[in-house]
Amino acid sequence: MRLQPVSSVSLQRISPRLAAVAGVLLSLALAFAILRLPPPLNLIAVPGVLLGTLMLIAPSLAPMLLVASVPVQDVGAVSLGVQTLTATKAAVGATAVVLPLVLLARRQPLRLPALAVAIVGYILTQVISLRAARELLPGFAEIYRWTVMLLALLAVVHLVRGRAAIIWLSSVVAAGAIGQAALGAVQSVLGLAPESFAVGGGIFRAYGTFGKPNPYAGYLEMTGLWLLPLAIWALREAWNAGSAWHRARSDGFVASRALRRDLLVRLGLCAWLTLGSVCSFLGIGLSFSRGAWLGAAAGLVVLVLAASRRVQIAGVGLALVGSLFLLAGGATVLPDAVRERAVQLTSQIRLFDVRDVQLTDETFAAIERMTHWQAGLAMAREFPLTGVGVGNYNVRFAEFSPHPVFRISQGHAHNYYIHAAAETGFLGLAAYLLVSLFALVAALRSSRQGRSALDRALGLGALAATTAVMVHNVVENLHVLNLSVQLAAIWGLALVAERSRSLAGSGCGALGAKRQRRSPS
């Protein structure tokens, strides 16, 4: 019997039915879970069902909640015995359900950009490295983290559609940065931190909800540098709206009402994004993370170099003023703790053999960090192809540590490139570098070729944030505590901007204006 091809009309009828059936089955499963789950999970399930329904109605809520969960991931966590339900895990589960249902309802195929393919390739190298792993559970946990990053990237690419969704997402990011900076300031000034975080003068290193200053600063690097071009874009939009309102005032108060409301909305957006960016840099400073300072500086340099000519001139002028200030002895007015941390920055990247340096209170931190570097390099030399197995750096650390005092790993190699080579071999390191390269290319393309000013601002922000992460990763591992979700969202918006498929036409009220203007950033 000869098979007949399925017509497009048949597919159009089947897909909505499949989506409806999936929705009904999901509702029944959730209803059963509500009845069977013990307290307090049964209470959480009710608003969870309502929120899931809202996500199906407005799919862009899924990536927004996923990004919003990063700074509050452990707040209000619910213990489930051997596992803990966090805000991020709940958002990941909801996104994993909503994304395929939305694609099915829209009859939209799953697209895998080159960046997503590169992430899949890196995950595959991690899976291959499990052959050499002594413990599988840490490896599964690391693979899960990168799978979540892939999910976040795909969710942003497929579900964030339209200017309004991008503006709301950026506002959510700004809210997270403002909250973390405020919490970090309280911790730093009031001394609500462990004694090991003290930097002198009654000041402590800020750490927010991330537990440690370095991931806290890494989160703020990703937000502040990304929000800065968006704030400049919003300022230009507010300026244009103000000009339009000023011209329309001659027609009367009532006639200019819509433009006045438009101006107020744009001014509010500009103020919010600017506050988010400023608070991010304030939090980075209070973290006293030398790697974050270096990464943020590198991100700002790249941002200025990739921006418009006026921004480049302003950046060079500020750099000259800062240089003259330092040459004139301006560094002496800085707090002692800031000067000491800046001087110690050179010790973080200076190479030496830990066996040739005497261990003292002053050299302890540098020797500990270099011990982790050399242990990772030793693992990569002995297992050059696939490494010791993903997630097994801590497991094998004692065997490869060159210093007798340091036999317990601090969690990672204090250099993600060495860490990747140690756990997944040079095959995995090459795959990770490919991920970084594709992210930079996507950000650069959107910053150069974006059709709108918002496109270009998204690209510039992604370019600066990615540069900062790559530099900071020389002395840290920023792929922990779901920070990769935040980074994936930034990359996903750069991909959206690169395609320019949803920024020009749709919007929310006055913010959805169709005119495209060039941003000073």
Q: What DSSP assignment string belongs to 200-227?
A: ETTEE---TTSSSHHHHHHHHHHHHHHH
Whether residue 512 is predicted with pLDDT greater than 50 in this model: the reply is no
Lowest-confidence range among 123-127, 183-187, 198-202, 342-346? 342-346
Query: Which residues on adjacent β-strands are paired with residue 287?
Result: none
Q: Greater confidence, 9 or 45?
A: 45
Whether residue 211 is predicted with pLDDT greater than 80 in this model: the reply is yes
Structure tokens at 141: 């946990």
Structure tokens at 96: 């994993």
Structure tokens at 473: 């990763």
- The pLDDT > 70 percentage for the chain reads 79
Lowest-confidence range among 87-91, 102-106, 272-276, 510-514? 510-514
pLDDT category of residue 175 using cuts at 50, 70 and 90: very high
Highest mean pLDDT of the ranges 173-177, 193-197, 494-498: 173-177
Q: Could you tell me the CA-to-CA distances from 479 to 29, 122, 432 in Å, in that order?
A: 34, 13, 12
First-to-last C-alpha distance (Å) of the chain = 63
How far is the C-alpha of 306 from the C-alpha of 457, rounded, in Å?
11
**Mean pLDDT of the residues in the chain:** 85
**What sections of 130-162 are H helices per DSSP?**
136-159
Whether residue 162 is predicted with pLDDT greater than 60 in this model: the reply is yes
pLDDT category of residue 337 using cuts at 50, 70 and 90: low
The pLDDT, as a whole number, for residue 215 is: 95
Q: Is 202 left (phi over 0), alpha (psi -120 to 50) or beta?
A: left
Pair 116, 154: CB distance under 8 Å: yes
The pLDDT, as a whole number, for residue 100 is: 93
The pLDDT, as a whole number, for residue 511 is: 43
The pLDDT, as a whole number, for residue 469 is: 97
Whether residue 97 is predicted with pLDDT greater than 60 in this model: the reply is yes
Whether residue 513 is predicted with pLDDT greater than 50 in this model: the reply is no
CA angle 177, 182, 184 (to 5 degrees): 95
Question: What is the rounded average pLDDT of the residues 68-82?
Answer: 77
Question: What is the rounded average pLDDT of the residues 290-317?
Answer: 87
**Cβ neighbours of residue 463 under 8 Å, at least 6 residues apart?**
302, 303, 306, 440, 443, 444, 447, 494
Question: What is the rounded average pLDDT of the residues 42-52?
Answer: 66
pLDDT tens per residue across span 413-457: 999 999 999 999 999 999 999 999 999 999 999 999 888 999 999
Whether residue 514 is predicted with pLDDT greater than 90 in this model: the reply is no
Q: Greater confidence, 16 or 220?
A: 220
- The pLDDT > 90 percentage for the chain reads 58
The pLDDT, as a whole number, for residue 329 is: 62
Cis peptide before 213 (omega within 30 of 0): no
The pLDDT, as a whole number, for residue 419 is: 97
Lowest-confidence range among 10-14, 150-154, 388-392, 403-407? 10-14
The pLDDT, as a whole number, for residue 5 is: 42
Question: What is the rounded average pLDDT of the residues 374-384?
Answer: 96
How far is the C-alpha of 521 from the C-alpha of 275, rounded, in Å?
17
Lowest-confidence range among 159-163, 250-254, 345-349, 509-513? 509-513
How far is the C-alpha of 51 from the C-alpha of 61, rounded, in Å?
9
Whether residue 9 is predicted with pLDDT greater than 60 in this model: the reply is no
The pLDDT, as a whole number, for residue 517 is: 41
The pLDDT, as a whole number, for residue 507 is: 40
The pLDDT, as a whole number, for residue 256 is: 74
Please report where in the chains the tokens 């006639």 appear, as a residue.
255
> What letter would DSSP give residue 392?
-
Question: What is the rounded average pLDDT of the residues 21-28?
Answer: 66
Question: What is the rounded average pLDDT of the residues 391-419?
Answer: 93
Q: Phi, psi (5° rounding) for residue 188? A: -70, -45
Lowest-confidence range among 89-98, 198-207, 346-355? 346-355
Lowest-confidence range among 128-137, 207-216, 323-332, 414-423? 323-332
> What letter would DSSP give residue 198?
E
Whether residue 15 is predicted with pLDDT greater than 60 in this model: the reply is no
pLDDT tens per residue across span 264-274: 999 999 999 99
Whether residue 519 is predicted with pLDDT greater than 90 in this model: the reply is no
The pLDDT, as a whole number, for residue 310 is: 78
Whether residue 38 is predicted with pLDDT greater than 60 in this model: the reply is yes
Whether residue 502 is predicted with pLDDT greater than 70 in this model: the reply is no
How far is the C-alpha of 464 from the C-alpha of 479, rounded, in Å?
17
The pLDDT, as a whole number, for residue 126 is: 98
Q: What is the 3-state secondary structure (H, E, C) of 6-42?
A: CCHHHHHHHHHHHHHHHHHHHHHHHHHHHHHCCCCHH
pLDDT tens per residue across span 466-500: 999 999 999 999 998 899 999 999 999 999 998 76
